[in-house]
Amino acid sequence: MKSNTVLQIVIGGYLVLFFAYLFLPLAFMGVVAFNTSSIPQVTPWEGFTFHWFGVLFADSQMWQGLGNSFIVAFFVVIFSVSIGLGATLFLTRMRFKGRDGAYAILVSPILTPGIILGISTFLFWDKAFHLSGGLWTAIMGQTTFISGYCMLLIMARAQRFDKTQEDAAFDLGATHGQVFWKITLPFLRPALLSAAALAFMQSFENYNTTLFAIGFEQTLPIYIGSKLRQFISPAMNALAVVFIVLTIIGAAVYEYRRRRESVAAG
């Protein structure tokens, strides 16, 4: 009984410390956004202001970076989910020697540092097509490894697929196309949706690969990076607050829908 209480306290203490570690830095960062001081800091507190949000929203570079991020993410999602699906079909349906080798090659981009993918993509398009760094190379560089994540996600679901369902559909007279659209794809749909969401997040937040691949263009993370390396302004804190608020809203909506669904299902 006594050792149990001690254990409870230890676990509780650890949890508090862990989440403090996780959230306090973000909390500090958020508070700074509302400090009038032009140097981002909590103390001295010079007064409450929304001024830095105004500065942020007036920055055309930020909007341009945001726009570029959406463009890049859009194509990365389309490419990566398609590639992930294709690779899944390829690896789960075909039986051939060297399948393990093919698998290793296709997951290798995930295990490669992002800057290497960025550099090699940049060099390749420059050398082979005389296409210098821009949004296209950023899309290519990101797709290289995000496809791997999509493949793993889709494959995890595909492996739970009962292939006799396809046999049954085929036996009942469906063509290959009909089997795929009416049986296989509906089964994989949840995995495709989560792969799309993951691809979007990964693309939207990518810095390492993009930095080397994109040349002189800017996505939002590149914009943030250059801002943070120049002179630091609390406008970046304002941006962080926007991210945090959007995230919390997103999480709340997700949680609300999940609960409603579980109530409906239960």
Partner 1 sequence: MLKSVGEAVEFNHVSMRYPGTESNAVTDANVHIKAGEFFSFLGPSGCGKTTLLRLVSGFLDPTEGEVRIGGKDMRGIGPNKRPTAMIFQNLALFPLMSVAQNIGFGLEVRGVSKTERLKKAVELLELVDLPGVENKMVGDLSGGQMQRVAIARGLAVEPAVLLLDEPLSALDLKLRQHMRTELRKIQRRTGVTFVYITHDQGEALTMSDRVGVMTGQGVIDQIATADQLYNEPQTAFVADFVGENNAFAGAVTETDGDYAILNTESGSLKGRNRLNLNSGQKAIAFVRPEAILLAEDSTAVENILKFTVKNLSFEGSFITVFLDTPGGQTCVMKQNNDGSTPLMQTGTEIKVCFSAENTQLLPYGEVSYA
Partner 2 sequence: MRKLWQDAKHNFGNIGIIFILATVGGWFIFMILLPQLIMIDYSFRPLLPLRKIGGPEDVYTLKNYMVLFTTPLHRAIFFKTIWSSIIVTFVAFAICYPISYYLAKMARGARFSLLMMGIIIPYWINELLRLFAWQLILSDVGILNNILMFLGIAGEPINFRSGNSAVILGMAYAYILFMIFPLYNAIESLDSNQIDAARDLGSSWFRIHRRIVIPHAKPGIAVGCIMTFMLAAGSIAAPLLLGSPSSFWFTQLIYTNFETANWNQGAAYAMVLAGLCLIFIMLMLKLFKVSLKELTK
Residues that bind partner 1 (CB under 8 A): 162, 164-165, 167-175, 178, 182-183, 186-187
Considering the complex, state which of residue 50 and residue 99 has its C-beta at the smaller distance from partner 2. Answer: 99
Select 100 or 171, whichever has its Cβ closest to partner 1: 171
DSSP β-bridge partners for residue 48: 35
Per-residue DSSP letter, 266:
-
Contact 118, 207 (CB under 8 A): no
DSSP 160-214: T--THHHHHHHHTT--HHHHIIIIIHHHHHHHHHHHHHHHHHHHHH--HHHHHHS
Stretch 151-210 residues interacting with partner 2 (CB under 8 A): 152, 156, 175-177, 180, 201, 205, 207-208
CB atoms within 10 A of CB 209: 31
Distance CA 114, CA 214 (A): 13
Residue 19 contact partner, candidates partner 1, partner 2, none, CB within 5 to 8 A by sort of partner: partner 2
Instruction: Indicate which single residue of 190, 255, 256, 257 sits in contact with partner 2 (rule: CB under 8 A).
Output: 255
Identity (one letter) of the amino acid at 101?
Answer: G
123 binds partner 2 (CB under 8 A): yes
Output 131 or 169, the one with its CB closest to partner 1. 169
Three-state secondary structure call for residue 57? helix
Binding mask 63-102 for partner 2 (x = CB under 8 A): -------------------xx-xxx-xx--xxxx---x--
The phi and psi torsions of 43 (rounded to 5 degrees) equal -115, 145
Least Cβ distance, residue 78 to partner 2 (angstroms): 11
Interface with partner 2 by CB under 8 A: which range of 46-54, 56-64, 110-118, 186-194? Answer: 110-118
* Options 38, 41, 194, 233; binder of partner 2; rule CB under 8 A: 41
Is the CB of 168 or the CB of 232 nearer to partner 2?
232
What is the contact mask toward partner 2 in residues 6 to 25, using x (rule: CB under 8 A)?
-----x--xx--xx-xxx-x
Among 68, 143, 203, 218, the residue binding partner 2 under the rule CB under 8 A is: 143
126 in Cβ contact with 133 (< 8 Å): yes
Quickly tell me which residue has 């800091």 as its tokens: 41
- When asked if residue 219 is in the footprint of partner 2 (CB under 8 A), the reply is no
Please tell me the total number of residues recorded for the chain in this structure: 266
Output 50 or 259, the one with its CB closest to partner 2: 259
Residue 74: name its binding partner from partner 2, partner 1, none (Cβ under 5 to 8 Å by kind).
none
Q: What ranges make up the beta strands (E) of the chain?
A: none
Partner from partner 2, partner 1, none binding residue 173, C-beta < 5-8 Å depending on class:
partner 1
Which of 79, 44, 106 minimizes the C-alpha distance to 200? 79
243 makes contact with partner 2 (CB under 8 A): yes
> Which listed residue (65, 72, 136, 144) binds partner 2 by CB under 8 A?
144
From the list 116, 112, 181, 100, the residue with the least C-alpha distance to 149 is: 112
Residues 153, 191 contacting (CB under 8 angstroms)? yes
